[in-house]
Amino acid sequence: MKYKNIFRLFALMGAAMIVGIPLQAQETPATSKSPTWYMGIDGGVPFGYSTFRSFGANKTRPGFDAGVFGGYRFSPLLSLEVSARMGKLGMSATDCCILSGYWLGQDGRHYHVPALGLEGWNYGDLKSDVRMQEYALQFNVNLLGLWSKTQNSPWAVEVSPRLGASLTQTDIKTIGDNALHIKGGNRWHLAARGRLQVSRTIGKHFLAGVYTGMTFLTGRGIDNMPRHIHRSNYVWDSGVRIGYLLGRRTKKAKAAASTENSVSAPIAGERTEETTIQQPAPVQPADTVVIPDTATVPDAAAVSAITDIAMTAEATDTLVTFPVIYFGFDKYTVATTETAKLQEILSLLQQRSDVQVQIHGYCDRRGTAAYNSPLSLRRAESVKNWLTEHGIPAERISTAGYGIDRTTTDNRHARRAVIIQLRKEESK
Partner 1 sequence: MKRPLLYTLYIMCIAALLPFTSCSRGIHEQGNALAIEIVWDENSMSEGDDTDTPPDLTGITVYIYGTDGTLRDSIRYNNAGEVAANSHQVPAGDYVIVTTSNVEGSLSVNDEEIVSLEQLMIEQGEDAPPGQAYYSIQWVHVDATGVTTSRQELRPVLSRLQVNVVGATEGSTLQAEVLNAAKCFYPSRPNSAGSYGIPSEETTAYTLPAGAFVTDTRAETTGRMSTDSHLMPTATGETEAVVRITYTPQGGTPVTQTYRSKPMLSGKQYELTLNLDMEIVLDGYDYGTSDWDRVEF
Could you give the angle at the alpha carbon of 204 between the alpha carbons of 246 and 200, nearest 5°?
A: 100
Contacts of 289 (CB under 8 A, 6+ apart): 377, 398, 399, 400, 401
Task: Tell me whether strands 325-326 and 103-105 are parallel, antiparallel or unpaired.
Answer: unpaired
**Contact stretch for partner 1 (CB under 8 A) within 57-65, 190-198, 253-261, 383-391:** 190-198
Restricting to residues 355-394, which ones interact with partner 1 according to CB under 8 A?
A: 365
Give the shortest CB-218-to-partner 1 separation in angstroms: 8
Confirm or reject binding of residue 295 to partner 1 (CB under 8 A).
Answer: no
Q: State the sign of the Cα–Cα–Cα–Cα dihedral 15, 19, 21, 22.
A: positive
Of residues 59, 112, 149, 248, which one binds partner 1 by CB under 8 A?
Answer: 112
Total binding residues for partner 1 by CB under 8 A?
53
Answer yes or no whether residue 254 interacts with partner 1 by CB under 8 A: no
Shortest distance in whole angstroms from residue 111 CB to partner 1: 4
Q: Closest distance between partner 1 and the C-beta of residue 37, in Å?
A: 16
Which of 3, 176, 177, 231 binds partner 1 (CB under 8 A)? It is 231
Q: Binding of partner 1 at residue 3 (CB under 8 A)?
A: no
12 binds partner 1 (CB under 8 A): yes
**Adjacent-strand bridge partners of 157:** 198
Q: Which of 139, 206, 236, 244 binds partner 1 (CB under 8 A)?
A: 139
Contact (CB, 8 A) for 226 and 104: yes
Q: In a 3-state reduction of DSSP, which class is residue 103?
A: strand
Residues whose CB is less than 8 angstroms from the CB of residue 393 and which lie 6 or more positions away in sequence, other chains included = none
Pairing of strands 206-217, 234-245: antiparallel
Nearest to 375 by CA among 359, 389, 387, 364: 364
CB 364 within 8 A of CB 30: yes
Q: Give the DSSP H or E segment for 241.
A: strand 234-245
Of 60-68, 85-93, 213-221, 286-294: span binding partner 1 (CB under 8 A): 213-221
Residue 6 to residue 413: CA distance in whole angstroms: 43
Residue 1 or residue 315: which is nearer to partner 1 going by CB? 1
Site string for partner 1, 260-289 (x = CB under 8 A): ------------------------------
H or E element in which residue 140 lies: strand 126-142
Q: Is 229 in the site for partner 1 (CB under 8 A)?
A: yes
- Give, for 71, the enclosing helix (H) or strand (E): strand 64-73
Minimum Å gap between C-beta 219 and partner 1 is: 11
Judged by CB under 8 A, which of 192, 196, 198, 283 binds partner 1? 192
Q: Which of 21, 68, 84, 96 touches partner 1 by CB under 8 A? A: 96
What is the Rg, in whole angstroms, of the alpha carbon atoms belonging to the chain? 30
The reply to whether 292 sits near partner 1 by the rule CB under 8 A is no
Minimum separation from the CB atom of position 179 to partner 1 (A) = 22
Question: What's the count of helices (H) and strands (E) in the chain, helices before strands?
Answer: 9, 17
Alpha carbon 387 to chain centroid, angstroms: 39
Is residue 300 near partner 1 by the rule CB under 8 A? no
> Could you list the residues that contact partner 1 (CB under 8 A)?
1, 5, 8-9, 12-13, 15-16, 19-20, 23-24, 28, 49, 74, 78, 80, 96-97, 99-101, 103, 105, 107, 109-118, 139, 141, 161-163, 192-194, 216-218, 229-234, 365
